[in-house]
Amino acid sequence: MSIHIAKVHDVLKGERTFGTTILVDRLWPRGVKKADLNPDLWLKGVAPSTELRTWFHHEPEKFEEFTTRYAAELDGCSSPDLQTLIDATSHPLTLLYGAADREHNHAIVLAQWLNERCLP
């Protein structure tokens, strides 16, 4: 099926989502009221570890190494949240993220990882 990515703040402004909406951040997006965002799932366990997120600090020059490290975390992950996400790939879904940078964020890496390992 298909995996889409959307910034939380764009969805709140009316950007279209597809299928199941899944928030993939470990932390609730800053400045967003829980009543305003109603994802189908919030899978904290698929987000990068706190240590990796802190190291990356959304610095674009670290994105290539971040991608490698995060993919390795996902490869070794035994979180029930990851299995829930993998199971959800049988239908269209939208990964929601709160990062400001649209080109260097974990949702991009996660979608790529899912496409490479889970989709036919």
pLDDT tens readout for residues 13-53: 999 999 999 999 999 999 999 999 999 999 999 999 999 99
Distance between CA atoms of residues 45 and 63, nearest Å: 20
Dist CA 36 CA 23 (whole Å): 13
User: What average pLDDT does this structure show over 67-79?
Assistant: 94
Q: What percent of the chain has pLDDT over 70?
A: 98
User: Cα 49 vs. chain centroid, distance in angstroms?
Assistant: 12
- Phi and psi at residue 23, in whole multiples of 5°? -75, 125
Give 68 or 78, the one with higher predicted confidence.
Answer: 68
Distance of alpha carbon 15 from alpha carbon 33, whole angstroms: 17
